[in-house]
Amino acid sequence: MPETKRKHRDETNHRRGHSKPNKNARKKKKTGPRLPSSLQKELDRLNPTTSIEIDQDIDSADGDAAERELLPQDFYEYEEQHAEEESKKNKRYDPGSVDQLQYDLPIERSDESEDEIIQSDDDNVDDDDDGMERTGDAADGDSSEEGDGRHTRMLQGITGMPSEAFEGKKKRKMKDDVIPELYPESEYNPSRDVVDGDGQISIDDLLNPLQDNPGFGKLRKRIQQIENNSKAIHAPLRTADQAKVERKAAYEISKKEVTKWQQIIQRNREAPTLLFDENIDLGFSTVGAIASEFEPRTEFERKMAALVSDDKVMEAYKKDAYDAWQVSVEEEKDRQSRIAKMRSLLFRHEMKAKRIKKIKSKTYHRLLKKDRLKTEYSNIQMDPEAAKEFVMKQERLRAEERMTLRHKNQNLWAKRILTRGLNSQDEGTRAAIADQLQRHAELTRKMHSMKDSSSSSDDSSDGDDEDAGSDQEMGSKVVGKAIEKTMKVIQDDHETPKSGLLSLPFMRRGLEKSKKAAVEEANLALQEYKDSKKKLENSVGSEGPEATSISGRRVFGASKTQISDAGDKVKSDYNYGSSDSEDDLRASKNGNIETQGSNVLQKDVNTDAVLIQEDTDNHQESVFKDFNEIVKNPGPKTTYEVSLFVSDTWKKARNRDEKGTNVKKSAMPSGPVRQDIKDTEKEVEEDSDTDSEGQMVDGILTSGSKLSYELPSQEELIRQAFAGDDVEDEFEKDKMEILNVENPEPEKPVLLPGWGQWTHVQKKKGLPSWMLKEHENARKKREEAIKKRKDAQLKNVIISEKLDKKAEKLHTKALPFPFTSKEAFEQSMRVPIGPESNPATAIGPLNRPEVVKRPGVIIKPIQFEEVNPHEKAEQRRGDKHRSKKNKGSGGRSMKKTTA
């Protein structure tokens, strides 16, 4: 609309206007190269279009926004811009440039802001109609225009000031009474009135001459409308400022745009795990999937495919397969139940075995072994097969023993012990050695017994006491035989082969060695036999029924070394006073059978002597006999040893009374032994070497005399039980020790001559006072520290206040980051996360890392999805948890952030 309006106005101007071309001319006169006005006029007349072209040029050149803002304010401002115009003017004579301008015009127009272009547009349009007229007009209007120009020139000439000065005055004036209009009317030549300051041209003035024209009414109406709505246009901003404003707005917008991510980001940050490995299709994964894609290509493949895909063939095949595998329901059920039962049985058995295997208790295993032996034994009794097997096993064991001589002090340990000397070992070791030897003897001797007496009653091994009179007789016979045989063996052994492999020197050496061992063994056996024979005779001779109870301690299987070791010691004590028998004992140690035999004989003689002697205090005799029994049969237990020792001391005392009398009881009636135990106890206490020994004897004796012993009260019992050890004292001692370790007592100040003070002063005054003071302080400090201890008031408790520096490393000093309360932290630490203490379904979520991704799978950047901002965080978390659970159980529902 405004465009058309302007057009109209322009039209009117042109119709009316004589001024425009003149104006152009004048302008050129002013600022261009100074052509005389007449010349200029001539030029205009010759080429009227050029002026128009120039106008257009100006317009196009003035497209600058900066100028635009100035233009509407001042008409004359425009005149200052003529430099450009002049440059164009120079070009004017260049025909090419003119052509170009003419050609370019419409294009340029489209880019330019409209208000200026319209002018030129009009010019173009009106060019043809008004061309001639205008030239005429221009000639007419010259006089007035020139007058105007002349006026300024005159002013210039008078004042000597540049024309701008006057223009500036005008400008200022114009600024004051400028009427803002839509259309800057810069082109129009100001009338003389304006120049003189009389007034200004109104639109009406311009319109009036157009009244006769046909479109006038319309035009006037428009102009009235414009006048009514006229407003001032503000100057556009500078480009820089404009850009700044634009950027600011853009930033606000993009900020808002970006903020939509906030929710998603927060959700992802709070999520315990980000999953990036979802919705991934890695192609065919199974053989079946790949096979399904197979397409036959070769001839053979095609044939195969035809067969495979043949319906008849497939049907037949399927039917066959069905028949082959068809099983009745009952059968299947039966089978399944059978398998299930089997499995459960196996499982239980396995569990039981596992449990039993884990048990570490020695007692349990001992009992188990005992149980096993018992059942074995009963089996042997019940089942001849088992008995046979057992015999075979025993046989085998014996054979092995004979071959290896494993228990014959052959192993490193035993050898070492022997080289060190058995006497210097502790009781346990001695007992162990004795035990071993005993076992050896058992294993080897049984062979004979088993061979000789086919009866399976193990008379010796367990020391069972079922020696009937007849048995003893039989036994003595057997033993006699055995002795003979052994002797024979010993003599036979002396033959050595003269040729063959065995004649080689090292073989011979080996043989000799083994022979020696065998001889030794034989000697041992011999001695044993003799012992047993003698005992048998003794028991047959005198003991009677009483002997059974005593022989409970008797062990047949005692080997030679055992006797020579343990027995030697005893005997040396035993014969304390009588030095005559000492030599014999030494001799027996050497392993000489003869001396050993004589020793035994001597013993027997001694016994006879005792028999003859008829002592008064029988009970003591009997007790002594009892001890002697023990001496004779040293078992593996340490208590025997102790009791022996005690008996020795006791004997010493006795021997003082009855000098030279060696005692051997066996014939004595041992009835009163038990009744008189108390007496012996007393005596022992009187002797009292040490407390513990006395008690030990006490223990043994009381245990043997339960029948006649009165039960003491509970208190008494406890007192007796703890008579030796003072628990309270011990505890206090312990506590003091710990106290001393944790709060060490300060060192006493030591007098070092010359330290702390001059020597002579020290000598006179003793320790320097500061040392004493320091010591005193340290002591006080310690006392206080002890008082402050947690267990200071607790009499029966020790609370250690020692800090473990290594353990300190495993404690935190402050709460780790996300935790705010100690309880929560401790709670979290208490929950185990390992597979040992969690079900398989829970381990996954517990141990899931923060980011789960799969190598080789490209992770795409985040994509927007709506997150309900009003949804509560907890709910969301719950959802997550649920979905995670689903995932754990195989479902893939969770979709977190990835595409």
Return the range that interacts with other proteins (CB under 8 A); candidates 34-42, 56-64, 380-388, 808-816.
Answer: 808-816
Return the range that interacts with other proteins (CB under 8 A); candidates 62-70, 130-138, 435-443, 861-869.
Answer: 861-869
Asked if residues 368 and 374 have their Cβ atoms less than 8 Å apart, the reply is: no
Q: Does 860 bind other proteins (CB under 8 A)?
A: yes
Among 812, 820, 868, 889, binds other proteins (CB under 8 A): 812
- DSSP classification of residue 633: S
Site mask, other proteins, residues 185-224, x = CB under 8 A? ----------------------------------------
Q: Does 824 bind other proteins (CB under 8 A)?
A: no
Q: Name the minimum Å distance from CB 808 to other proteins.
A: 9
Return the range that interacts with other proteins (CB under 8 A); candidates 422-430, 464-472, 846-854, 881-889.
Answer: 846-854
Neighbours of 524 (CB within 10 A): 26
Q: Does 182 bind other proteins (CB under 8 A)?
A: no
Tell me how far apart the alpha carbons of residues 529 and 533 are, in angstroms, rounded to a whole number: 6
- Please return the burial class of 782, using the count of CB atoms within 10 Å of its CB with bins 0-12, 13-18 and 19+: middle
Smaller CB distance to other proteins: residue 355 or 813? Answer: 813
Q: Does 843 bind other proteins (CB under 8 A)?
A: yes
Q: Does 827 bind other proteins (CB under 8 A)?
A: no
Residue in this structure with the two tokens 């040729």, named with its chain if needed: 499
Q: Name the minimum Å distance from CB 26 to other proteins.
A: 43
Helices and strands of the chain, counted as H and E runs = 42, 2
Beta-carbon contacts of residue 327 (< 8 Å; ≥ 6 apart):
none
Return the range that interacts with other proteins (CB under 8 A); candidates 201-209, 260-268, 412-420, 784-792.
Answer: 260-268
Q: Name the minimum Å distance from CB 885 to other proteins.
A: 17
Q: Does 856 bind other proteins (CB under 8 A)?
A: yes
Among 76, 166, 276, 709, binds other proteins (CB under 8 A): 276
The gap between the terminal CA atoms of the chain, to the nearest Å, is 54
Tell me how far apart the alpha carbons of residues 785 and 804 are, in angstroms, rounded to a whole number: 19
Q: Name the minimum Å distance from CB 896 to other proteins.
A: 10
Smaller CB distance to other proteins: residue 262 or 456? Answer: 262
3-state secondary structure of 274: strand
Q: Does 267 bind other proteins (CB under 8 A)?
A: no
Asked if residues 191 and 147 have their Cβ atoms less than 8 Å apart, the reply is: no
Among 423, 863, 868, 889, binds other proteins (CB under 8 A): 863
Q: Name the minimum Å distance from CB 269 to other proteins.
A: 8
Beta-carbon contacts of residue 726 (< 8 Å; ≥ 6 apart):
none
- What is the H or E stretch that residue 202 is in? none
Tell me how far apart the alpha carbons of residues 234 and 69 are, in angstroms, rounded to a whole number: 8
Longest CA–CA span in the chain (Å) reads 194
Q: Name the minimum Å distance from CB 261 to other proteins.
A: 5
Q: Does 418 bind other proteins (CB under 8 A)?
A: no
Residue type, 876: R
Smaller CB distance to other proteins: residue 263 or 572? Answer: 263
Q: Does 274 bind other proteins (CB under 8 A)?
A: yes
Q: Name the minimum Å distance from CB 858 to other proteins.
A: 4
Among 848, 876, 880, 885, binds other proteins (CB under 8 A): 848
* 851 strand-pairing partners: 274
Among 809, 822, 870, 872, binds other proteins (CB under 8 A): 809
Q: Name the minimum Å distance from CB 833 to other proteins.
A: 6
Among 850, 869, 870, 872, binds other proteins (CB under 8 A): 850
Supply 872's token pair.
């509560």
Q: How many residues does the chain have?
A: 899
Among 131, 766, 835, 878, binds other proteins (CB under 8 A): 835
Q: Name the minimum Å distance from CB 372 to other proteins.
A: 41
Among 65, 235, 265, 316, binds other proteins (CB under 8 A): 265
Tell me how far apart the alpha carbons of residues 581 and 660 are, in angstroms, rounded to a whole number: 11
Site mask, other proteins, residues 289-318, x = CB under 8 A? ------------------------------
Tell me how far apart the alpha carbons of residues 172 and 176 are, in angstroms, rounded to a whole number: 7
3-state secondary structure of 437: helix
Q: Does 255 bind other proteins (CB under 8 A)?
A: yes
| Distances in whole angstroms, Cα of residue 666 to Cα of each of 464, 549, 606, 661, 674 | 19, 13, 11, 15, 16
Tell me how far apart the alpha carbons of residues 519 and 204 are, in angstroms, rounded to a whole number: 164
What is the distance, to the nearest Å, from the Cα of residue 650 to the centroid of all Cα atoms in its chain? 68
Site mask, other proteins, residues 235-254, x = CB under 8 A? --------xx-xxxxxx-xx
Residue type, 693: E
Q: What's the CA dihedral at 882, 883, 885, 891 to 10 degrees?
A: 140
Q: Does 859 bind other proteins (CB under 8 A)?
A: yes
Asked if residues 195 and 152 have their Cβ atoms less than 8 Å apart, the reply is: no
Smaller CB distance to other proteins: residue 232 or 245? Answer: 245
Residue type, 879: D
Q: Does 810 bind other proteins (CB under 8 A)?
A: yes
Asked if residues 415 and 409 have their Cβ atoms less than 8 Å apart, the reply is: yes
CA dihedral sign, ordered 535, 539, 545, 550: negative
Smaller CB distance to other proteins: residue 611 or 843? Answer: 843
Among 851, 871, 881, 882, binds other proteins (CB under 8 A): 851
Supply 696's token pair.
């030990």
Residues of this chain that interact with other proteins (CB under 8 A) are 243-244, 246-251, 253-255, 257-259, 261-262, 265, 268, 274, 276, 809-812, 816-817, 829, 833-835, 843-844, 846-851, 853-864, 897
